[in-house]
Chains A and B, each alone.
Chain A
Amino acid sequence: MPLSERDRVRIALKPRRTRRQWIVGGMCVLLGFVMVGTVQTNDTTGVLASARESDLLQILDDLTQRRARLEEETRVLTSARDQLLSGSAEQVIAQTRDRVRALSVLAGTVPVYGPGLRIRITDPQGVVDSSIILDCVEELRDAGAEAIDINGRRVVVNSWFADGRDRGISIDGVVVTSPYVITAIGDGDTMAAAMRIPGGVADAVNAVGANFAATSMQDVTIDSIVQPHKPRYAAATS
């Protein structure tokens, strides 16, 4: 009598403690155990642990390239941050501020004080002309004057002198008259010596019949300033 499939399954499911059943059962235990173990290994260790050598090399290559890109980015950003943090920007600002201060003194845009020389030229007869005053200014500059003021007019690099229409002297278009008080900031003794050299400013003033007096002072102040004017033609190259 041929057995139906149902019968065969029923027979197979009937527990028979034969040695072969035990062997097959043991192998099934092993199969289930290994199957679950593999699944769990895949779950816990992810792709890398079970990946093949060539795949790992590919992954490593990708990671290396990505790391190189990120390191380059890090380097750029770090140097930018260092520039911002290290105070080099502040140093530049401080240096620039110092330069602005020094140039402001030279350009005559700020009031200044310091040791210097005060010259008083009294000229009741009106014999002192602009060339004598110009000589005086040039001598003072040669002797190291850093700021010069004549009767409240700041003398700067583009100042000009002319004789007044009737009397006095025109400085930058403004007429000043005797007595001329010239204040210079610098080494007072050096400038005083420069005034006294034979045939110099003092002699020239005295020769035309005016009175020259110079006093070296420890602390003089020049309050007059000039408005800086924007250059029309010259542009800075840097």
Chain B
Amino acid sequence: MIPALGLLLGVVLGVVLQPAVPLWMQPYLPIAVVAALDAVFGAFRALLAGVFEDRVFVVSFLSNVIVAAFIVFLGDQLGVGAQLSTGVVVVLAARIFSNLAAIRRHVFKA
């Protein structure tokens, strides 16, 4: 309950406050958001499977965000930032889709 409300609260806060993303963060933030979404969907899947653990969620959330941002940062340093961030997004999107498929199986039994 609290996490769902928290997500809603965050969206409302963002709309109201209109935060300006710092320049140095701008290449990494979209990737970090996608990584965090992957963690959230993974957590929901775990919840439906009955294996959800807060600790696992926190660790996977943070590690997803940090690793995704770091990979993009590394790619930028190596001069392949655009390609590498595309790759990261593809991988994360694939994970999100597989999580969604698992959730769908749990909810609709199909």
A21 and B48 within 8 A (CB): no
Complex CA gap A38/B35 in Å reads 14
Is A76 part of the contact surface with B, judged by Cβ < 8 Å?
no
Contacts of A236 in B (CB 8 A): none
Query: Do A52 and B6 form a contact, CB below 8 Å, given A21-B54, A31-B33?
Result: no
Residue A40 contacts which of B14, B23, B26 (CB distance < 8 angstroms)?
B14
Q: Tell me the dominant secondary structure on chain B's binding face.
A: helix
Residue of A22, A23, A38, A50 with most chain B CB atoms under a 10 A cut-off: A38
Q: Beyond the given A29-B7, A41-B26, please list 5 additional residue pairs across the A-B interface where CB-CB is below 8 A.
A: A16-B2, A21-B1, A27-B3, A29-B9, A32-B11
Which residues B1-28 have CB closer than 8 A to chain A? 1-15, 17-21, 23, 26-27
Contacts of B5 in A (CB 8 A): 25
Question: Among the listed stretches A6-14, A88-96, A111-119, A127-135, which one makes contact with chain B, having 4 or more residues with CB under 8 Å of it?
Answer: A6-14
A54 and B2 within 8 A (CB): no
A29 and B6 within 8 A (CB): yes
Contacts of B3 in A (CB 8 A): 21, 24-25, 27-28
Residue B2 contacts which of A8, A9, A25, A55 (CB distance < 8 angstroms)?
A25
Contacts of A31 in B (CB 8 A): 7, 10, 33, 36-37, 40
Is A80 part of the contact surface with B, judged by Cβ < 8 Å?
no
Contacts of B18 in A (CB 8 A): 37, 40
Complex CA gap A20/B1 in Å reads 12
Q: Tell me the dominant secondary structure on chain A's binding face.
A: helix
Number of B interface residues, CB 8 Å?
46
Residues of B in contact with A (beta carbons under 8 Å apart): 1-15, 17-21, 23, 26-27, 29-30, 32-33, 36-37, 40, 43, 47-48, 50, 52, 54-55, 57-58, 61, 76, 79, 81-82, 106-107
Complex CA gap A26/B7 in Å reads 8
Which residues A55-111 have CB closer than 8 A to chain B? 55
A29 and B50 within 8 A (CB): no
Is A34 part of the contact surface with B, judged by Cβ < 8 Å?
yes
Residues of A in contact with B (beta carbons under 8 Å apart): 3, 5, 8-9, 12-17, 20-38, 40-42, 49-50, 52-55
Residue A28 contacts which of B10, B50, B54, B79 (CB distance < 8 angstroms)?
B10
How far in angstroms is the closest Cβ of chain B from A93?
61
Q: Which 4 A-B pairs have the closest CB atoms?
A: A32-B10, A36-B14, A25-B6, A20-B54
Contacts of A54 in B (CB 8 A): 79, 81-82
B47 and A12 within 8 A (CB): yes
Complex CA gap A20/B36 in Å reads 18
A32 and B107 within 8 A (CB): no
Complex CA gap A22/B57 in Å reads 13
Complex CA gap A26/B36 in Å reads 13
B15 and A36 within 8 A (CB): yes
Contacts of B54 in A (CB 8 A): 20-21, 23-24
Please name the residue on chain B nearest to A12 by beta carbon.
B47
Complex CA gap A196/B100 in Å reads 125
B82 and A14 within 8 A (CB): no
Residue B6 contacts which of A3, A13, A17, A32 (CB distance < 8 angstroms)?
A32
